Amino acid sequence: MPSINPESFKKSWPRCFVIFLGIVEVVAAIVLIITELGNVGANFWTTNVFAGGWCGLIMIIHFFGLFVAGCCAPGPPAAFRAVVITVIALLACGALIGFDAYFIAQPTTCILTSSCSSNAASTTVFSYSFRTSFFTAFNSLSAFKSYSESQTKYLFQTIQLSIGCLCFVLCIIYMVIYYVTRNKSLGNVAPHENPRTSNFQQQQQQQQRGAQQQQQGQTQWNANRRY
């Protein structure tokens, strides 16, 4: 099986574009975490699996993988490690997209416990003070002054769904870049030579040169000979 030529891989590797992908991803990851905080603040119990939080953390890890592959140590090993993280990021983004799409369609979904409704209505659990503080700050903004709980969760989940789709596409783009560059570097690998075959060919070449020199010497001697 042919191996990757590191020098050819580095020449074909789009370092600047990989770094650009990483920068876009880290911004998207921050947005995912912020929207998850808004979703939790609006209602901790319903339509919540903290997907924006753990998906955002995975995307930050993926950013570091891209940064190493594009800036610190560009080459096949670092690029392949980023591919492994990319596969995990794709699964996380797919789960995030699925959860958010379902929660938007079913805004009363309860997954955390079997008593989401009673916990959300209770004024003694820890989530009540957090939700009160959140809406005090959120409704103080003029653009969101009249937003209710359902409208707030819909807003954050819609943004989160859009960012999740963006991250999914960015991961696909990186996978395409890696395998295209890998295939290019495979085509530039020098063929492996068998040492025995190489030595045999050298011996044949030496014998042919010796025979040619001997024939040239005989021809010159016959040309100068007197009869």
Q: Which pLDDT band holds residue 3 (cuts at 50, 70, 90)? A: confident
pLDDT by residue (tens digit) across 60-69? 999 999 999 9
pLDDT by residue (tens digit) across 189-205? 444 445 555 566 666 66
80 with 21, same domain?
Answer: yes
Range of the domain at 217: 199-227
Q: Residue 192 has which token pair?
A: 């492996």
Nearest to 28 by CA among 65, 62, 56, 68: 56
Q: How many residues does this entry show for the chain?
A: 227
Question: Are the C-beta atoms of 138 and 38 separated by less than 8 Å?
Answer: yes
SS percent in the chain: helix, strand, coil, step 5:
80, 0, 20
CA angle 63, 58, 36 (to 5 degrees): 115
179 with 206, same domain?
Answer: no
205 with 181, same domain?
Answer: no
Q: Residue 195 has which token pair?
A: 């040492």
Q: Residue 6 has which token pair?
A: 């590191």
Cβ neighbours, 10 Å, residue 115: 11
pLDDT surpasses 90 at 160? yes
112 with 51, same domain?
Answer: yes
Regarding pTM above 0.75, the answer is: yes
The number of distinct structural domains making up the chain is 2
